[in-house]
Each structure stands twice: as C-alpha cells, then as structure tokens.
Structure 1
Amino acid sequence: MDITRGGPADVPTILHMLDDAQDWLASQGRTGQWGTEHFSGVPAAVERFTAYATTSTLWLATVDGQAAGVIVTSTTPVDYVPPVAEPEHYVLLLVTARAFTGRGVGAALLDHALTEARAAGVGLVRVDCYDGDDHRLVAYYEQQGFTSLGTFTARDGTWPGRVLGQRV
C-alpha cells in the first residue's frame, strides 16, 4: 500500500468511495449515518469535499495503483464540535473503498495521520463519527486506539455523534 498526498483532483475519487459506502450502508438498512442521497449528487456536499481537498491535508492510499482509501485532516475541527485549547489534527474524513474493506486501509491511514501529527509536534488527534444504530463505527475507532471524549448531536438534533481522541 502506498500513501501519497492528494488534492482537489481526487474529489471525484472521494465522492465515488462515499457513494459506494453509502449504498453498502443502505443495503444493510443503516441509513442513519449518511442517508440515501449520494454525496456526488448534492452540490453542497461536492463543495464541502472540494473545500476539504483544497484547504486541508488529504492523503490517498493506493493498492496496485487503485484508490483504496482517503483521509483528510485539518488543524481545526468541524463547526459542530467544540475546539480544544491546544494544537490538534482533526480527522475530517476517513473512507475506504468497498473493494478494500477489511484489508487495513483505514488503520494505515489513521496511523499515517498520527505520524504526521507527531512529526508536526501536535499531541492530539481527534475524530468524530456517527454514534447511532449499532455503534460499530465508534468501536472501530476505539480498536484503533482512540478514546471517547464525549457525544453530541448535529443536523438539528437528528444525528448522534461521538468525538474520540488519541494522544501522540
């Protein structure tokens, strides 16, 4: 697996991964996280991910030349999560291409983000995720060494979330 710096040209790849993941979640009856309308068909979502790719740090994982996953980090959290009183790297997005799930792509990207934070002298990496349905996403981050820092609701109180962090 190779992990290289990405940018705005990777937005179509990100949207494709997100749409595929969304289809998979919907096929499992798990629409609470991202709903059913593809991100690629929502102009505001396309704008959001384009802004992420332009103003944040994007890393793309590839396996045998195929896009396998992406992580986007920032030095500031999303607007619905309170900031902390110290420098941090905040994971804005982590997604693995469906063809590569279960192969350690997400873990490798998170490890890369932790290494980047450490190299920058930043002692905290935080991430937020969906905390509804079966809580599998929270459990995944905990398995990656993150600990719960609290819960929140977004989207007018309809989207349960959890913030997790890891010291580096």
Structure 2
Amino acid sequence: MDVTRGGPADVPAIMQMLDDAQDWLASQGRSGQWGTDHWSAAPAGVERITRLATTGTVWLGVIDDVPAGTIITSTTPPDYVPPAPEPEHYVSLLVTARAYAGHGVGAALLAHARAEAHTAGIGLLRVDCYDGDDHRLVGYYERQGFTSVSAFTARDGTWPGRVLALRV
C-alpha cells in the first residue's frame, strides 16, 4: 500500500468509504455509531467531511490505484473534545474501504500519522471514537497502542464517545 497526500478532491471517495462502512455497521446491528442514513445523503455530513479535507491533512492509503482508506489529521480537536495541554496531531477521521477491511490499512494509516507527528516534533497523537454498543472501536485503537483518556457524550448527550491518546 502506498500512502499519498489527498485533499478536497478526494471527498467523493471518502464519502463512499463512509457510506459503505455505515451499511456494514448497520448490517451488523451496530447503527449506534453512524445511524442508517448515508453520510453522502446528508448535506451536513458532506459539509463536515469537506471541511475536514479542506482544513486538515488528508492521507490516502492506495492499493493498485484504488483508495483503500483515508486518515485526516489536524492540529486541533473537534469542539466537543478539550484541547490537549501540548501540541498534538488529532485524528479527525479514519476509515477503511470495505473491500480492504482486515488488510491492515487502518493500522498503516495510523502508523503514517504517528510518523508525521514525530517528524513535526509533536509528541502526542489523539483520536476520539464511538464508545457504545460493543466498544469494539475503542478496543481497536487500544490494540494500535492508544490509551483511553476520557469519556464524553456528543449530539445532545446521545452519542457516547471516548478520547484516546498515543505518545509518539
């Protein structure tokens, strides 16, 4: 897999990955994370991903010229997460195309984000994720070396989340 720099032009591919992931989660009875309505069908969802792709740093994992996953990082967390007491890289989005699930795409993109933070002299990488249902996503990040920092709720207290951190 090659990791290449992306940007706003990649929003349609990112939206497709999110829609496919959402379908898969719903088929597993795990719609609490993203619901059942496609990201691409909601103007607010498209606007959010476009904003992230415009203001953050987009990296694509590419296999045989096909986007297999993406990670978007920034230097600030979203509004619902308190800022860190030191400079950080924040994982704003990590998603793997369903065709490449289980192939280590997410782990490779996280490794790339760690390396980018290290190169920039930043010692902290944080992420937040859904912490409801079976807590599988939190477990995934813990297996990638992240440590739980704090729990929070978003969307008017209806969406349980967790902030995790990794020393770079």
Equivalent position SS for 1:134: coil
1:77-156 equivalence runs, <5 A: 77-156=77-156
Q: Are 1:54 and 2:54 matched, yes or no?
A: yes
Equivalent position SS for 1:31: coil
Equivalent position SS for 2:153: strand
- Unaligned stretches of 5+ residues in structure 1: none
Q: Give the letter aligned to residue 139 of structure 1.
A: G
The corresponding residue for 2:74 is: 74
Identity across matched positions, percent: 74
Give 1:133 shift: 0.4
Q: Give the letter aligned to residue 156 of structure 2.
A: D
Give 1:107 shift: 0.1
Give 1:5 shift: 0.4
User: How many residues align structurally?
Assistant: 168
Q: Give the letter aligned to residue 86 of structure 2.
A: E
Q: Are 1:158 and 2:158 matched, yes or no?
A: yes
Give 1:10 shift: 0.2
Equivalent position SS for 2:30: coil
CA RMSD of aligned residues (A): 0.4
Looking at structure 2, the residues matched to 34 and 139 of structure 1 have their Cα atoms a distance apart, in angstroms, of 18
Looking at structure 2, the residues matched to 23 and 139 of structure 1 have their Cα atoms a distance apart, in angstroms, of 21
1:32-51 equivalence runs, <5 A: 32-51=32-51
Looking at structure 1, the residues matched to 157 and 39 of structure 2 have their Cα atoms a distance apart, in angstroms, of 21
Q: Normalized against structure 2, the TM-score is what?
A: 0.99
Give 1:84 shift: 1.1
The corresponding residue for 2:22 is: 22
Give 1:85 shift: 1.4
Looking at structure 1, the residues matched to 148 and 69 of structure 2 have their Cα atoms a distance apart, in angstroms, of 24
Equivalent position SS for 1:116: helix
Q: Give the letter aligned to residue 26 of structure 2.
A: A
The Cα offsets for residues 70-118 of structure 1, whole Å up to 9 and x where unpaired, read as 0000000011000011100000000000000000000000000000000
- Unaligned stretches of 5+ residues in structure 2: none
Give 1:122 shift: 0.3
Looking at structure 1, the residues matched to 84 and 125 of structure 2 have their Cα atoms a distance apart, in angstroms, of 11
Equivalent position SS for 1:94: strand
Looking at structure 1, the residues matched to 105 and 84 of structure 2 have their Cα atoms a distance apart, in angstroms, of 28
Looking at structure 2, the residues matched to 155 and 54 of structure 1 have their Cα atoms a distance apart, in angstroms, of 23
The corresponding residue for 1:64 is: 64
Q: Give the letter aligned to residue 166 of structure 1.
A: L
Looking at structure 1, the residues matched to 117 and 86 of structure 2 have their Cα atoms a distance apart, in angstroms, of 13
State the 4+ residue runs in structure 1 displaced beyond 6 angstroms.
none
Equivalent position SS for 1:35: coil
